[in-house]
Amino acid sequence: MKNMEDISFECSGLLVRKKFREYLAPTILTTISMSLAAMADGALVGNILGDTAPYSGKTGHSAREIKK
């Protein structure tokens, strides 16, 4: 009879491959959805707020103030 320590070290790469495949699709879909959300957010802020949107640079000034 094998004790628990011997059994835990006998795992092959099968478990790792199985878990990798299990999490691969959700990871890719999450990455794609976050990228699409960031692009949509940028487009909406750029089109709706335009020059009145706060500038995110180090100066803390708005884009309108920087253009002057």
In a domain, 5, yes or no: no
Is residue 32 in a domain? yes
Does residue 48 lie in a domain region? yes
Report how many domains make up the chain: 1
What's the predicted TM-score (pTM) here?
A: 0.54
Q: Quick check: is 23 in a domain?
A: yes
- Tell whether the model's pLDDT for residue 14 goes beyond 70: yes
Distance CA 61, CA 50 (A): 14
**Residue at 4 is within a domain:** no
Given the structure tokens 């707020």, which residue do they identify?
Answer: 49
Please indicate, yes or no, if residue 28 is contained in any of the structural domains: yes
Residue-wise pLDDT for 27-59, tens only, equals 999 999 999 999 998 888 777 776 666 655 555
In terms of residue numbers, what domain contains 40? 15-67
Whether residue 60 is contained in a domain is answered as yes
Q: Is the pLDDT of residue 25 over 60?
A: yes
Asked if residue 2 belongs to a domain, the reply is no
